[in-house]
């Protein structure tokens, strides 16, 4: 483990920073953490993302499974620990300007008529994007802002006995995802839990418990059901970064933030599946990549990835391993 930690600390500044905070439990204001954070912000890759996000909200969304969306890049910067004062304050202001009457924040979308939409560009929200905006705002320290609280409460109240369904603003008309109306949407549950895990008021809520049980129950039934086409088969089990879609690392990273799940045998089984993929040095390699992130160190399958290794070790640390 000591060798792996040394390897992580020798990596890019953004990996060093998260290693110091998440694995070594260094305070954010420690000299080494502050130096790593300053170096992280100065890296060309982080600066490139900040420059791209200056065009927020960017191109109209037509599919959420596009890892190059500015929404996913915003989420990744929040994952790293970037804050509005690092160059995102204008982006946050623009997000807050587009709040729906219901509460959730909107982004430009275009839903084809074949899927129940209008086929026109418009600002709207769906339960596969609004929670990610909420997650970013919460991570940016805005969880007590009345506008953010309004968005959170509306989205939380959409939960049903079997978790969060596919849902969207009424302005999108008859739009719905590809699954049955009575099914929970696995991705919606994942991103809702991702948001709630960063918001102390709702981290231990009944909604969080229901959403977590939904995902773990789907793991138990993974050979029988694929609600909304989100299965937990071979592709789901591949190690992949950044955490933007429905896969094993993303699910584990979210669920292990809830301490009351630590002893759950289903979560432990999922972690076993990942831990078994370590090489002899305890490092992990991407098994699938997003082309939009090909210039990042996790965007290749040839050699171990420090970022993916950090994600796995953080998951295992939360589980007490």
282 and 288 Cβ atoms separated by less than 8 Å? no
Mean per-residue pLDDT for 78-105? 98
Residue 43 has a pLDDT of 97
* Residues β-bridged to residue 106: none
Question: Structural domain boundaries of the chain?
Answer: 1-42, 59-206, 233-321
Residue 29 has a pLDDT of 97
Mean per-residue pLDDT for 270-289? 97
Residue 120 has a pLDDT of 81
282 and 235 Cβ atoms separated by less than 8 Å? no
The crossing angle, in degrees rounded to 10, of helices 2-9 and 306-318 is 130
177 and 167 Cβ atoms separated by less than 8 Å? no
Residue 35 has pLDDT above 80, yes or no: yes
**Of 101, 227, 111, nearest in space to 173 by CA:** 111
190 and 215 Cβ atoms separated by less than 8 Å? yes
Name the strand (E) or helix (H) holding 123.
Answer: strand 122-124
d(CA 88, CA 242): 20
Give residue 114's pLDDT band: very low, low, confident or very high (50, 70, 90). low
pLDDT: is 307 or 174 the higher one?
307
Residue 63 has pLDDT above 90, yes or no: no
Could you tell me the fold of the domain covering 59-206?
Glycosyltransferase (1.50.10)
d(CA 245, CA 290): 10
d(CA 313, CA 321): 9
Mean per-residue pLDDT for 97-117? 87
Helices (H), the chain: 2-9, 13-18, 31-42, 44-53, 70-80, 89-97, 130-139, 146-156, 186-197, 206-220, 248-255, 265-275, 306-318
d(CA 259, CA 161): 22
List the single range of 5-19, 173-187, 190-204 with lowest mean pLDDT: 173-187
Task: Give the chain's mean pLDDT.
Answer: 95
Residue 2 has a pLDDT of 84
Residue 234 has a pLDDT of 95
pLDDT tens digits for range 156-196: 999 999 999 999 998 877 777 788 889 999 999 999 999 99
């Amino acid at each position: 483990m000591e060798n792996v930690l040394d390897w992580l600390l020798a990596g890019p500044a953004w990996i060093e920073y998260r290693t110091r905070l998440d694995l070594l439990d260094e305070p954010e204001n420690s000299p080494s953490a502050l130096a790593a954070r300053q170096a992280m912000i100065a890296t060309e890759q982080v600066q490139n993302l900040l420059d791209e996000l200056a065009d927020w909200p960017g191109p109209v969304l037509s599919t959420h499974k596009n890892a190059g969306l500015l929404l996913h890049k915003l989420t990744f910067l929040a994952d790293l620990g970037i804050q509005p004062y690092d160059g995102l304050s204008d982006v946050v202001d623009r997000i807050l300007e587009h709040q729906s009457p219901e509460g959730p924040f909107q982004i430009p979308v275009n839903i084809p008529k074949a899927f129940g939409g209008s086929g026109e560009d418009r600002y709207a929200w769906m339960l596969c994007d609004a929670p990610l905006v909420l997650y970013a705002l919460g991570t940016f320290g805005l969880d007590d802002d009345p506008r953010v609280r309004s968005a959170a409460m509306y989205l939380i109240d959409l939960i049903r006995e079997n978790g969060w369904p596919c849902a969207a603003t009424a302005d999108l008309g008859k739009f719905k995802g590809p699954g049955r109306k009575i099914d929970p949407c696995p991705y919606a549950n994942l991103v809702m839990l991702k948001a709630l895990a960063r918001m102390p008021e709702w981290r231990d809520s009944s909604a969080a418990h229901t959403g977590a049980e939904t995902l773990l129950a789907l793991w138990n039934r993974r050979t029988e059901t694929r609600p909304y086409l989100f299965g937990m088969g071979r592709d789901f089990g591949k190690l992949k970064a950044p955490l933007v879609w429905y896969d094993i690392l993303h699910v584990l990273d979210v669920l292990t933030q809830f301490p009351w799940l630590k002893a759950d045998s289903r979560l432990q089984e999922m972690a076993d599946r990942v831990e078994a993929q370590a090489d002899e040095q305890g490092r992990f390699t991407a098994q699938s990549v997003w082309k939009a992130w090909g210039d990042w160190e996790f965007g290749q399958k040839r050699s171990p990835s420090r970022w993916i290794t950090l994600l796995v070790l953080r998951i295992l640390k939360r589980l007490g391993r």
